[in-house]
Amino acid sequence: MKSPSIVMLRRNFKHIARNPTTVFNAVLMPVVVMLMFVYVFGDAFSVGVDYATPGLLLLAVCYGLGSVAVSVNSDVTKGIINRFKVMDVPRSAVLTGHVIASVLTNMLAVAAIVGVAFALGFSPSASLLDWLGVVGLVVLLSFAAGWLTIAMGLAAKSPETAGLASLPLVMLPFFSSAISPTDKMGPGVREFAEYQPFTPIIETLRGLLNGAPSAGDVIPALAWCVGFALVGYLWASSTFKKRA
Amino acid sequence: MTDFAITASDLRKAYKDKVVLDGIDLNVRAGTVFSLLGPNGAGKTTTVNVLTTLSKADGGTIHVAGYDVATEAKAVRAAIGVTGQFAAVDELLTGQENLQLMVDLNQLSAGAGKRMVAELLERFELVDSAQKPASTYSGGMRRKLDLAMTLVGNPRIIFLDEPTTGLDPRSRRTMWSIIRELVAGGVTIFLTTQYLDEADQLADRIAVLDQGRLVAEGTPDELKRQIPGTHVRLRFSTAEELDAAARILPDSTRDDEALTLRVPSDGGTKAVRALLDRLGEYSLDAEGFSVHTPDLDDVFLALTGHTTKALTGHMTDALTGHTTEVVAK
């Protein structure tokens, strides 16, 4: 006897194993972006690996999600979800499989970024507890963004639109404090960057890695994550139920 | 409880303000094949979705396997198997893995599951491709795999939504013989199709669905009595020739406007040769000659007074019919 969630998760892992380019993309792209900002732009940008790493952790999470939306959507459009629905598989199992697979892929990309960062001379002053905080927040973000992406994947009409739906998640980090401090941005963009959800999350990660997180960032960061997760979960569940 | 596997009364369903099912009653006896016949857009898939708990009806009561679909969905799902209109197989998994997935989700024990997978692969002639991903399968193989996956749960009632649409004639025959085997094993089949011959071949009872309403129901023979049978159509160039031909072929029906004569015939070479010989005896030549087998279009014309074209507004393969025209020299 195997729990349906485990069966589903194993199915998702098989998908990833059969289609390794998606993981390759999810891991490679953030690393390439990192090398670009730290090496290629180098002095012209002079943010340095210590500044860039927190934002790139977030980028690593977001990059992996595009393929999640597409894979959820093809489950819907190819009728497999309907097959599971008439089989009395617990409704949560199908989506839980996708969420867990997505979080684990994300962690692979995050680990790669951290590894490359250290290789480039990243020297955080975080304590063990701070590191736990970093891991916790990244997992929470990955989980929250995962649910939101799954909801988008379920709601999209076709795999193409599903891929497109996740684009904002990939774009948002660039309009945040990920790569450059918001006070150096132009008017309009600056206000947007300061108030968009990713900025407090990045600032919290940055604070934790410097060993000095500020409550002013931590609280909105957690609030955004919990909010995303809740909205994503409810949206995904209701779409899952409705869409036949 | 009853010997009905499926009962539905006054089934209603609308999407926004478009009425899809407009008060349908269905009674399907256990162990029989029931076919819902209709063109694209008639509401066949919606009916299947509602009966299989995939979507909720706006009104009416449905019992499947004795359970109320609205309140006992779990029990209904445990009793049924559904093969949808598009083969719902996992393309990234192999045929064997697809079946194993169903075994795991049905919570079968490892030994029983293994036997079941091997047996189904054998029965559906998928042994050779069992280790290949389903994405490499042909349309017919996918349908077979899909149906095999449905059978893993040992359902007593199976819903097949257009199981042969888009299949080549050979795969279609294979699918038909599989369906017959299932019925022989005591399974109840609810089959939707847009092919009259398919319903005729397989079904014990046929219901004709048109714009969300049942316009006819009965055994295939009862239904066929209401529609014109196979006939030969002769087209003449002049009214005089039509007159002469009508005189020598007393069973025929004439259409003066189109200058055609409809002669009942089984369409076989023997009957056609006899007919042509008879025309030859009287030195009559038809300008056009066609053999016409009744198709869904004829059923609709006979039962509703309109063709399926008016219904859907676009061509479907059901409308292509089986008419072959041979222009006489």
Contact by Cβ (8 Å): B264, B170: no
The answer to whether A86 faces chain B, any CB pair under 8 Å, is: yes
Contact B105 A82 (CB under 8 A): no
Looking at chain B, which residue has its C-alpha nearest residue A85? Answer: B54
Contact yes or no for A14 and B97 at CB 8 A? yes
Measure the CA–CA gap between A132 and B111, rounded to whole angstroms: 44
Q: Which of B56, B89, B90 to mutate to test the interface with A (most CBs of A within 10 A)?
A: B90
d(CA B226, CA B248): 27
Q: What percent of chain A has pLDDT over 90?
A: 30
Q: Which of B77, B90, B91 sits opposite A88 (nearest CB)?
A: B77
Tokens of A74: 């093809």
Residues linked to residue B235 through DSSP beta bridges, in sequence order? B260, B288
Sign of the dihedral defined by the CA atoms of residues A152, A154, A155, A158, in that order = positive
What mean pLDDT is predicted for residues B46-75? Answer: 91
SS (H, E, C) B109-156: CHHHHHHHHHHHHHHCCCCCCCCCEHHHCCHHHHHHHHHHHHHCCCCC
Chain A residue nearest residue B133, CA to CA: A18
Mean per-residue pLDDT of chain B: 85
Homologous superfamily (CATH) of B4-224 is P-loop containing nucleotide triphosphate hydrolases (3.40.50.300)
Q: Which residues of A touch B103 (CB under 8 A)?
A: none
Cα–Cα distances (Å) from B244 to A16, A145, B36, B288, in that order, read 75, 81, 43, 16
Higher local confidence (pLDDT), A120 or A224: A224
Question: CA triplet A111, A116, A121: central angle to 5 degrees?
Answer: 125
Q: How many CB pairs under 8 A join A and B?
A: 60
- The predicted structure's pLDDT at residue A42: 62
Q: Which of B28, B18, B21, B7 is nearest to B58 (CA)?
A: B21
Beta-sheet pairing, B260-264 with B253-255: antiparallel
d(CA A229, CA A50): 29
The nearest CA of chain A is from the CA of B57 a distance in Å of: 12
Looking at residues B180-203, what average pLDDT do you find? 91
Complex ipTM value: 0.83
Considering only CB atoms, which chain A residues are within 8 Å of B89? 80
Q: What phi and psi, each to the nearest 5 degrees, are found at residue B260?
A: -115, 155
The amino acid present at B238, given as its one-letter code, is T
Write the DSSP assignment of chain A as a string of letters: ---HHHHHHHHHHHHHHH-HHHHHHHHHHHHHHHHIIIIISHHHH--HHHHHHHHHHHHHHHHHHHHHHHHHHHHHHTTHHHHHHTTT--HHHHHHHHHHHHHHHHHHHHHHHHHHHHHTT------HHHHHHHHHHHHHHHHHHHHHHHHHHHH-SSHHHHHHHTHHHHHGGGGTTTTS-GGGSPTTHHHHHHHSTHHHHHHHHHHHHTT---HHHHHHHHHHHHHHHHHHHHHHHHHHHH--
pLDDT at position A43 is: 64
Residue to mutate among B21, B44, B94, B104, with most A CBs inside 10 A, is: B104
**pLDDT value at B230 more than 90:** no
How large is the average pLDDT for residues A43-66? 81
Taking an 8 Å cut-off on Cβ atoms, the answer to whether B49 and A18 are in contact is no
| Nearest by CB: A7 against B54, B55, B101 | B101
Q: What is the mean pLDDT of chain A?
A: 86
Give B-chain residues touching A85 at CB under 8 angstroms: 53-54
CA A163, A166, A167, A173 torsion: positive or negative?
negative
Each domain of chain B, given as residue ranges in start order, spans 4-224, 231-327
Residues 64-83 of A with CB under 8 A from B: 78-80, 82-83
**pTM of the full predicted structure?**
0.79
Residues B245 and B275: beta-carbon distance below 8 Å: no
Residue B327 pLDDT: 36
Buried b (16+ CB within 10 A) or exposed e, B242-274: bebbbeebeebebeeeebbbbbebeeeeebbee
Q: Does A119 touch chain B (CB under 8 A)?
A: no
Q: Which residues of B62-74 are buried (b: 16+ CB within 10 A; e: fewer)?
A: bbbbbbebeebbe
Q: What is the pLDDT of residue A79?
A: 85
At residue B313 the predicted structure's pLDDT band, cuts being 50, 70 and 90, is: very low
Strand partners, B188: B157
Joined tokens for residue B24: 């349908």
Q: Which residues in chain B are closer than 8 Å to A19, comparing Cβ atoms?
A: 92
Cβ contacts (< 8 Å) between A2 and chain B: which residues?
Answer: 104, 107
Contact A14 B52 (CB under 8 A): no
Is B66's pLDDT higher than 80? yes
The closest CB to that of B78, out of A80, A83, A88, belongs to A88
What is the structure's pLDDT at A244? Answer: 57
Residue B115 has pLDDT above 80, yes or no: yes
Judged by CB atoms closer than 8 Å, whether chains meet at A11 and B93 is answered as yes
pLDDT, residue B291, reads 85
CA–CA dist B191, B163 (Å, integer)? 8
Which range among A176-185, B166-175, B291-300 has the greatest average pLDDT?
B166-175
Considering only the beta carbons, identify the residue of A4, A19, A82 that sits closest to B54.
Answer: A82
Q: What is the mean pLDDT of residues A75-100?
A: 88
Cross-chain Cβ contact A11/B55 below 8 Å: no
Chain B residues within 8 A of A82 when measuring between CB atoms: 54, 82, 84, 88
| pLDDT tens, position by position, B254-297 | 888 888 888 888 778 888 898 899 999 998 888 888 888 777 67
pLDDT tens figures, A193-217: 888 888 889 989 989 988 777 888 8
Contact A82 B91 (CB under 8 A): no
Cα separation of B130 and B114, whole Å? 13
Kindly indicate the confidence band of residue B229, based on its pLDDT and cuts at 50, 70 and 90.
Answer: confident
Please indicate whether, in this complex, the C-beta atoms of A11 and B90 are within 8 angstroms of each other.
yes
Percent of chain B with pLDDT over 90: 42
3-class DSSP string for chain B: CCCEEEEEEEEEEEECCEEEEEEEEEEEECCCEEEEECCCCCCHHHHHHHHCCCCCCCEEEEEECCEECCCCHHHHHHHEEEECCCCCCCCCCEHHHHHHHHHHHCCCCHHHHHHHHHHHHHHCCCCCCCCCEHHHCCHHHHHHHHHHHHHCCCCCEEEEECCCCCCCHHHHHHHHHHHHHHHHCCCEEEEEECCHHHHHHHCCEEEEEECCEEEEEECHHHHHHCCCCCEEEEECCCHHHHHHHHHHCCCCEEECCCCEEEEECCCCHHHHHHHHHHHHHCCCCCCEEEEECCCHHHHHHHHHCCCHHHHHCCCCHHHHCCCEEEECC
- Give the closest residue to B248 by CA, choosing from B279, B273, B217: B279
Instruction: Identify the band that residue B129 occupies on the pLDDT scale cut at 50, 70 and 90.
Output: very high
A180 has pLDDT over 80: no
Radius of gyration of chain B (CA): 23
Which chain B residue shows the shortest CA-CA distance from A89?
B105
- In sequence order, the β-bridge partners of residue B213 are B210
Which of residues A167 and B6 earns the better pLDDT score? B6
What's the mean pLDDT in B60-74?
Answer: 92
- Closest chain B residue to the Cα of A88, Cα to Cα: B77
Tell me what the mean pLDDT of segment B158-179 comes to: 90
A10, A72, A86, A98: best to mutate for the B interface, most B CBs within 10 A = A86
Record: contact B54-A86, CB cut-off 8 A = yes
Inter-chain CB proximity A88 and B54 less than 8 Å: no
Instruction: Collect all residues from B whose CB is shorter than 8 A from any CB in A.
Output: 49, 52-55, 74, 77-78, 80-82, 84-93, 97, 101-102, 104-107, 109, 133, 149, 153
A83–B149 CB contact, under 8 Å: yes
- In angstroms, the CA B229 to CA B288 distance is 20
What pLDDT shows up at residue B232? 87
Q: Looking at the predicted structure, is the pLDDT value of residue B14 above 50?
A: yes
pLDDT digits (tens, 9 = 90+) for B88-101: 899 999 999 999 99
Task: Please tell me the distance from the alpha carbon of residue B15 to that of residue B8, in angstroms, as a whole number.
Answer: 19
Among residues A225, A226, A203, A230, the alpha carbon closest in space to that of A215 is found at A203
Distance from CA of A86 to the nearest CA of B (A): 6
* Cα angle value B161/A10/A115 (rounded, 5°): 135
Q: Which residue segment(s) compose the domain that A52 sits in?
A: 4-242
Residues of A in contact with B93 (CB under 8 A): 11, 14, 18
What order do you get walking across the sheet with B260-264 strand by strand? B253-255, B260-264, B231-235, B288-292, B324-327
- Counting the structural domains of chain A, the total is 1
User: What is the mean pLDDT of the segment spanning B226-239?
Assistant: 84
Nearest to B92 among A19, A79, A82 (CB): A19
pLDDT at residue B170, rounded to an integer = 87
pLDDT digits (tens, 9 = 90+) for A125-150: 888 889 999 999 999 999 999 999 99
Confidence of residue B322 (pLDDT cuts 50, 70, 90): very low
